[in-house]
């Protein structure tokens, strides 16, 4: 399992990093923490690089390093890095430029199998898409951005599953709301639901929504399979059968104390682009964390 | 659909949304190619304007890399039959491009000497510990240095000095305060107003000098340029400093301990090395070359002499120069200058100039005002969207075709292209201070609009009252 956690600043990304690292620990996943810094236009790219080089020689730490520094100390505090193995201060840690817009900090004393701290510069969608594509992540974890258009682009163009840590409160006891339907994405979503439920020891609510009131055979079959799977894994479940608009029902059932898990839409990319999709609308309307499984 | 997998469709969609401006410019050029040429413009002029429009769209939208834009300009010139491959190649390289290349390389050579700590000490000794004096000192020194060695060099060397001071002041370098905004803008705007002072202050000045010579309109020497432009630079220093101070008045009026810490930090550096001394001597030689030799051998060749000396004395390695020189900019400006020359030769520049004159004369009766408005206000605004050198490369031939004294018009355009106050992309120094994360795009407007207006008015006064006396 490979997980990418995208952070942007200490102020906004604490819940994202917290949830992300918990999932990584439970699943023993190979994890990358990534910050995407300001996009530098091409006219000034070399001048900014030159300025950054001098800034580093003054021991000030180049822009974006502060976010990684904060993440680094979070990792030490939470025992992802063994503090006894850390000999030098963060300011002495050098960013290894792997390519023109991707740099990596070398870490020692890791307690996870693999853990990376990466700094990229550029347009956020371009950089995240490239990172996921090049390094084959299974899951990307990112904070709830205020911009709906950005969520649209994530869902449309990023090939991994996506967990949007929207409005997350660490003190709250969350339950999982697993949306089941007759689409092929459901079985994958159920598998993820089991893993997250076991990782955090939380219960699962299964929801099946029918627009008309009759539940077709495929969807009831999917629900039965999900129930069976939960039972086999010893997870407590409750089932909700609803009638009406799927998006509204899912959002309403989730409220603020659920983590919604659902399969990605299987519509064609063109249809999704022009008409949107169920997962996209759920992200737009809900006020809780959402995991879209691809 | 068409046997394509969902993944390929998704990839195509991604490409199309990212490259929408490229697609749009392609459609635009195709459709306008088949439109009849407007009256007064022959077909090659018509085609060159299509290339200009495509270039502007692609530079502003940043949808393809700059070197690709440069190549597209050259390719289109040949494919649309405007010039032969050899003709395009010879208009691509010129002394102006030599100068841009040489000055970017000189910047790398100078920055790599580790003179920044010495510069810091010099600045601090000069200004003392009062915040307003430090800010003014930053601005004045950035302006004067960048007028000779170019703004990117100065911006890169001054930035750490400011960040070190801010960090030592204990306000944290990760949270924007009035103090950080004031000091960083003092550098960026200082570099901008400095770049007008001499021809070597910025590539665009040399592009303008190149056009004046190429079109056989006028010759202007290094010292003559300074005579025209330097007073404006000196007047702008106190004005800009005051505007910045009153827009971003910091709560710390004295930076006593911060300055002391900086001095300790810098003092560890020891005495000046022989290499550093040699580096400074070579730069002074380059400066003297610009002043005394450039009328005979050109500004670009003098800059290349400097690079040759830095390399021969082993003060900088080629690897370093190669890695840190922005080749994209060199290619783009080469292509943009070649486009400018074609605009002049095909008569497209004259046609656009006539259109602008006849349109603006509805609003202003006096042709002098129209000329002034175009060369100053339009250049100033465009420079904040494109880059200053690209603006001069494209607008230069047009404003020079508007009549009037070419030296006056050329200088006004070059100077107005330094009014890069309003946006992040306006100049490399604006981008450098933005990249620290301490300056947001909206900060540029706070003081920028005041400075833009003041600079336009000041240039108007100087060009109307001072220049006629000396020319």
* B106-137 residue pLDDT tens: 999 998 888 888 888 888 889 988 999 999 99
Interface A–B counts its CB contacts (< 8 A) at 113
**In 3D, which of A132, A134, A119, A99 has the Cα closest to residue A36?**
A119
pLDDT at residue number A213: 81
Residue B96 lies in a domain: yes
User: In angstroms, rounded to a whole number, what is the distance separating the alpha carbons of residues A33 and A116?
Assistant: 6
- Note whether A20 and A165 are within 8 A (CB): yes
Q: Are strands A115-121 and A139-143 parallel, antiparallel or unpaired?
A: unpaired
Residue B19 lies in a domain: no
Chain A residues within an 8 Å CB radius of B322 = none
Q: How confident is the model at residue A279 (pLDDT cuts 50, 70, 90)?
A: confident
pLDDT at residue number A87: 64
Residue B261 lies in a domain: yes
Q: How confident is the model at residue B56 (pLDDT cuts 50, 70, 90)?
A: very high
Q: How confident is the model at residue B245 (pLDDT cuts 50, 70, 90)?
A: very high
- Note whether B134 and B165 are within 8 A (CB): yes
Chain A residues within an 8 Å CB radius of B434 = 38
B236 touches chain A (CB under 8 A): no
| Distance to chain A for B158, nearest Cα, Å | 9
Residue B24 lies in a domain: no
Q: Tell me what the mean pLDDT of segment B78-83 comes to.
A: 93
Residue B88 lies in a domain: yes
Cβ A58–B328 below 8 Å, yes or no?
A: no
- Note whether B214 and B338 are within 8 A (CB): no
pLDDT at residue number A145: 66
| Distance to chain B for A89, nearest Cα, Å | 18
Q: Tell me what the mean pLDDT of segment A200-221 comes to.
A: 88
Structure tokens at A188: 């994958």
Backbone angles phi, psi at A242, to 5 degrees: -125, 160
Residue B25 lies in a domain: no
Q: Is the pTM of this model over 0.90?
A: no
Residue B365 lies in a domain: yes
Cβ A55–B163 below 8 Å, yes or no?
A: yes
| Distance to chain B for A33, nearest Cα, Å | 20
Cβ A51–B159 below 8 Å, yes or no?
A: yes
Enclosing domain of residue B328: 42-470
Cβ A269–B173 below 8 Å, yes or no?
A: no
Which residues, listed in sequence order, are joined to residue A259 by a DSSP beta bridge?
A176
* Res B1 pLDDT > 80: no
| Distance to chain B for A14, nearest Cα, Å | 17
**In 3D, which of B390, B469, B406 has the Cα closest to residue B55?**
B390
Greater pLDDT, B307 or B358: B307
Chain A residues within an 8 Å CB radius of B21 = none
Of B9, B163, B427, the CB nearest to A268: B9
Name the average pLDDT for chain A.
Answer: 86
Cβ B111–A48 below 8 Å, yes or no?
A: no
User: In angstroms, rounded to a whole number, what is the distance separating the alpha carbons of residues B164 and B167?
Assistant: 5
Residue B410 lies in a domain: yes
Of B265, B430, B434, the CB nearest to A38: B434
Show which of residues 295-354 on chain B sit within 8 Å of chain A, judged by CB atoms.
324-326, 328-329
Cβ B436–A273 below 8 Å, yes or no?
A: no
> Considering only A100-114, A154-168, A269-283, which range has the smallest mean pLDDT?
A100-114
- Note whether A36 and A7 are within 8 A (CB): no
Taking the CB of residue A38, how many other CB atoms lie within 10 A of it? 15
Show which of residues 152-181 on chain A sit within 8 Å of chain B, judged by CB atoms.
156-157, 159
ipTM over 0.95 threshold:
no
Show which of residues 28-67 on chain A sit within 8 Å of chain B, judged by CB atoms.
37-38, 40-52, 54-55, 57-58, 60, 63-64, 66
Structure tokens at B228: 């025209």
Backbone angles phi, psi at A98, to 5 degrees: -85, -35
Cβ A41–B160 below 8 Å, yes or no?
A: no
User: In angstroms, rounded to a whole number, what is the distance separating the alpha carbons of residues A206 and B249?
Assistant: 58
Cβ B9–A51 below 8 Å, yes or no?
A: no
B266 touches chain A (CB under 8 A): no
Cβ A42–B328 below 8 Å, yes or no?
A: yes
Q: Tell me what the mean pLDDT of segment B56-75 comes to.
A: 93
| Distance to chain B for A90, nearest Cα, Å | 16
| CB half-sphere exposure, B211, CA atoms < 13 A | 35
* Res A278 pLDDT > 90: no
Taking the CB of residue B240, how many other CB atoms lie within 10 A of it? 26
Domains defined along chain A, listed by start:
2-165 (3.40.50.620), 175-293 (3.40.50.620)
Q: Which residues contact B17 (CB under 8 A, 6 or more apart)?
A: none
Name the average pLDDT for chain B.
Answer: 90
Cβ A58–B432 below 8 Å, yes or no?
A: no
Report the domain count for chain B.
1
């Amino acid at each position: 399992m490979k997980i990418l956690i995208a952070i942007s600043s200490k102020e906004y990304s604490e819940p994202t990093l917290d949830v992300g690292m918990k999932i990584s620990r439970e699943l023993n996943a190979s994890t990358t923490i990534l910050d995407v810094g300001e996009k530098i236009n091409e006219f000034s790219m070399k001048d900014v690089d030159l300025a950054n080089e001098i800034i580093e020689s003054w021991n000030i730490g180049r822009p974006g390093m502060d976010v990684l520094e904060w993440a680094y100390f979070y990792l030490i505090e939470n025992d992802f890095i063994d503090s006894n193995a850390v000999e030098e201060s963060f300011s002495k840690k050098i960013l290894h430029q792997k390519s023109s817009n991707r740099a990596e900090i070398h870490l020692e004393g890791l307690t996870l199998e693999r853990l990376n701290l990466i700094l990229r510069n550029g347009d956020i969608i371009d950089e995240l898409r490239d990172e996921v594509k090049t390094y084959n992540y299974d899951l990307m974890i990112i904070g709830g951005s205020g911009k709906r258009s950005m969520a649209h682009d994530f869902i449309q163009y990023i090939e991994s599953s996506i967990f949007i840590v929207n409005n997350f409160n660490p003190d709250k006891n969350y339950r999982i709301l697993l949306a089941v339907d007759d689409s092929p994405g459901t079985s994958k979503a159920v598998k993820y639901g089991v893993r997250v439920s076991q990782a955090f020891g939380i219960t699962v609510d299964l929801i099946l929504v029918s627009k008309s009131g009759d539940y077709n055979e495929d969807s009831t079959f999917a629900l039965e399979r999900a129930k069976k799977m939960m039972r086999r894994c010893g997870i407590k479940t409750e089932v909700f059968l609803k009638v009406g608009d799927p998006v509204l029902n899912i959002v309403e059932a989730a409220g603020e104390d659920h983590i919604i898990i659902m399969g990605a839409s299987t519509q064609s990319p063109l249809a999704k682009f022009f008409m949107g999709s169920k997962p996209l609308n759920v992200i737009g309307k809900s006020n809780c964390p959402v995991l879209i499984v691809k | 659909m068409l046997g394509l997998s969902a993944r390929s469709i998704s990839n195509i969609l991604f490409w199309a949304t990212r490259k929408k401006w490229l697609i749009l410019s392609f459609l635009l050029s195709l459709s306008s190619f088949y439109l009849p040429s407007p009256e007064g413009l022959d077909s090659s002029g018509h085609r060159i304007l299509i290339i200009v429009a495509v270039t502007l769209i692609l530079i502003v939208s940043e949808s393809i890399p700059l070197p690709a834009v440069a190549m597209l300009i050259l390719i289109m010139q040949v494919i649309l039959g405007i010039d032969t491959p050899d003709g395009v190649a010879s208009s691509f390289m010129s002394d102006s491009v030599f100068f841009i290349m040489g000055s970017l390389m000189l910047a790398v050579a100078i920055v790599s000497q580790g003179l920044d700590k010495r510069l810091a000490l010099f600045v601090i000794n000069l200004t003392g510990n009062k915040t307003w004096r430090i800010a003014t000192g930053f601005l004045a020194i950035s302006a004067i240095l960048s007028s000779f060695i170019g703004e990117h060099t100065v911006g890169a060397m001054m930035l750490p000095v400011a960040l070190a001071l801010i960090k030592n002041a204990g306000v944290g370098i990760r949270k924007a305060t009035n103090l950080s905004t004031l000091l960083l803008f003092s550098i960026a705007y200082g570099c901008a107003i400095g770049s007008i002072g001499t021809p070597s202050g910025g590539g665009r000045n040399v592009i303008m000098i190149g056009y004046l010579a190429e079109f056989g309109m006028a010759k202007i020497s290094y010292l003559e340029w300074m005579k025209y432009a330097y007073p404006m630079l000196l007047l702008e220093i106190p004005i800009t400093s005051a505007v910045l101070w009153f827009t971003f008045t910091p709560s710390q009026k004295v930076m006593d301990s911060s300055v002391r810490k900086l001095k300790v930090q810098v003092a560890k550096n020891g005495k000046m090395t022989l290499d550093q001394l040699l580096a400074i001597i070579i730069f002074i030689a380059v400066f003297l070359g610009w002043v005394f030799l450039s009328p005979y051998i050109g500004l670009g060749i003098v800059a290349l002499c400097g690079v040759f000396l830095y390399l021969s004395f082993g003060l900088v390695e080629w690897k370093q120069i190669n890695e840190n020189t922005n080749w994209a900019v060199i290619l783009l400006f080469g292509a943009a200058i070649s486009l400018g020359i074609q605009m002049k030769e095909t008569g497209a520049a004259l046609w656009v100039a006539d259109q602008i004159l006849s349109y603006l004369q509805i609003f202003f009766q006096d042709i002098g005002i129209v000329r002034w408005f175009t060369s100053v206000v339009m250049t100033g605004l465009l420079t904040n969207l494109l880059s200053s050198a690209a603006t001069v490369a494209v607008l230069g031939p047009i404003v020079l075709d508007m009549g009037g004294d070419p030296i006056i018009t050329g200088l006004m355009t070059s100077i107005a292209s330094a009014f890069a106050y309003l946006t992040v992309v306006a100049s490399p120094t604006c981008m450098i201070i933005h990249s620290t994360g301490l300056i947001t795009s909206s900060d540029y407007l706070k003081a920028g609009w005041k400075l833009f207006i003041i600079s336009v008015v000041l240039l108007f006064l100087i060009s109307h009252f001072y220049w006629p006396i000396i020319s």
